[in-house]
């Protein structure tokens, strides 16, 4: 029983970590795209 509870706790924390990483990646891509658009805008003007 001890092993099972520990492995499930580990799995939950891994899920949380994965979700946080995905959010960070999405945010990073969003920022990168925003920068690209601003650069394009600066080049045009």
pLDDT at 27: 95
- Is pTM, for the whole model, over 0.75? no
For residue 33 the two structure tokens come to 């795209």
The distance from CA 15 to its chain's CA centroid, rounded to whole angstroms, is 12
What does the alpha-carbon distance between residue 7 and residue 19 come to, in Å, rounded to a whole number?
Answer: 18
Domain residue ranges in the chain: 1-45
The reported pLDDT for the residue numbered 40 is 83
The two structure tokens encoding residue 19 = 């979700």
Instruction: Note down pLDDT in tens along the chain; length 45 residues.
Output: 567 788 899 999 999 999 999 999 999 999 999 999 888 887 776
Alpha helices in the chain (DSSP H): 2-44
């Amino acid at each position: 029983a001890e092993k099972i509870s520990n492995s499930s706790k580990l799995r939950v924390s891994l899920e949380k970590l994965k979700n946080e990483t995905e959010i960070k990646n999405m945010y990073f891509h969003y920022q990168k795209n925003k920068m690209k658009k601003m650069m394009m805008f600066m080049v045009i003007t």
